[in-house]
Amino acid sequence: MKLVIGDTKYDVQDSLQHVGIGDLRKVKTILGVDPKRINKMFIDLGKRMKEPAFDQVDLLGDDEFLLCMQGLIFLARRLGGEVLTVDDAADTPYDDFHLEDDEPEATAETEDPGDPKAPTSSAPAEDAQPPLPISTT
């Protein structure tokens, strides 16, 4: 999974595994979350994103998600060389970041062309909502 902030992509796993101990301690002390908890949140989120009933809006009221996202934004940006505080990470505008699932989805090219159940169109639904900062592309 990738965290995208502006035009910069950060690998979630790298952001959790290759940062300084001091930065990890700051996230643990200030937010009360550790890298294992953040990692579990995003593994679970990656699975949830693939479920048909997944509603991204539910994440906005999920304190666990918001704490983990703040921690991840801080760790990713610190690993990228930025100087910021954990509180600065919370100031990242909501519409400046999103997540991308880096596992490719099945497409018409990868499905059996003889399968009558295979989708024939990828046109968006008319009632589709505008995207939130979670993306599966």
Least Cα distance to 51 among 13, 109, 101, 120 occurs for 101
Residue 100 belongs to a domain? yes
Predicted confidence at residue 123, as pLDDT, reads: 47
Asked if the structure places residue 47 within a domain, the reply is yes
Mean pLDDT per 10-residue section of the chain, whose length is 137 residues: 90 90 94 92 86 86 92 94 95 85 57 50 45 49
Please report the pLDDT score of residue 75 as a whole number. 95
pLDDT at 104: 58
Helices (H), the chain: 12-17, 21-31, 35-49, 63-79, 86-90
Residue 28 lies in a domain: yes
* Structural domain boundaries, residue 83: 2-104+131-135
Residue closest to 73 by CA, chosen among 6, 15, 1:
15
| Residue 54 belongs to a domain | yes
The answer as to whether 119 is a domain residue is no
Quick check: is 118 in a domain? no
In a domain, 114, yes or no: no
How many domains is the chain built from? Answer: 1
Report pLDDT digits (tens) over 45-61.
888 888 999 888 888 88
